[in-house]
């Protein structure tokens, strides 16, 4: 999914999802929020560390997505960990339902961002990595870091 920087502001990223899972497919979903939650998100107060997605009764919900209470929200603040409904097309929901029936597949929230003034969540169809896959990824990152360090030393 190509994102232009015009009207795009990243709020939260789920690095753990990329480390723990292979991301097969990505979807963009809107989020059903209340007023003070939107204000809090605009200030960048969101965490996806423990978040996961479930499909219940043909609806998609994200759980454990922490949106900190808005300081000036007083009685209008909602529970920071309440389940939030994701807005997707029926065909996309059906595709996701079919995919998670296969063993090893799950749906993970990858990032939360503002796009044209609207809060969007990018969710990914993910398959769990084995320990040796994680080790291979870490080795690749270390090699790339070493190469960049060597390149910087030569440039001076």
- Residue owning tokens 């990223």: 13
Fold type of domain 8-129: Small Protein B; Chain: A; (2.40.280)
Within 68-129, strands assigned E span 84-87, 105-115, 118-128
pLDDT in tens, 79-124: 778 899 999 999 999 999 988 887 778 899 999 999 988 899 999 9
Cβ atoms of 27 and 93 closer than 8 Å: no
Domain positions in the chain are 8-129
- Residue owning tokens 């270390």: 142
pTM for the structure as a whole = 0.76
pLDDT in tens, 66-76: 888 887 767 66
């Amino acid at each position: 999914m190509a994102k232009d920087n015009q009207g795009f502001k990243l709020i939260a990223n789920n690095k753990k999802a990329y480390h723990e899972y292979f991301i097969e497919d990505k979807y963009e979903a809107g989020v059903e929020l209340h007023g003070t939650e939107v204000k809090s998100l605009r200030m960048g107060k969101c965490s996806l560390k423990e978040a996961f997605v479930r499909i219940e009764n043909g609806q998609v919900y994200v759980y454990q997505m922490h949106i900190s209470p808005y300081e000036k929200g007083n009685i209008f603040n909602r529970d920071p960990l309440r389940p939030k409904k994701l807005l997707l097309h029926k065909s996309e929901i059906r595709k996701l339902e079919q995919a998670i029936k296969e063993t090893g597949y799950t749906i993970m929230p990858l990032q939360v961002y503002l796009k044209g003034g609207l809060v969007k969540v990018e969710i990914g169809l993910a398959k769990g990595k084995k320990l040796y896959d994680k080790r291979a990824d870490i080795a690749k990152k270390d090699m790339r870091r070493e190469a960049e360090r060597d390149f910087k030393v030569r440039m001076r």
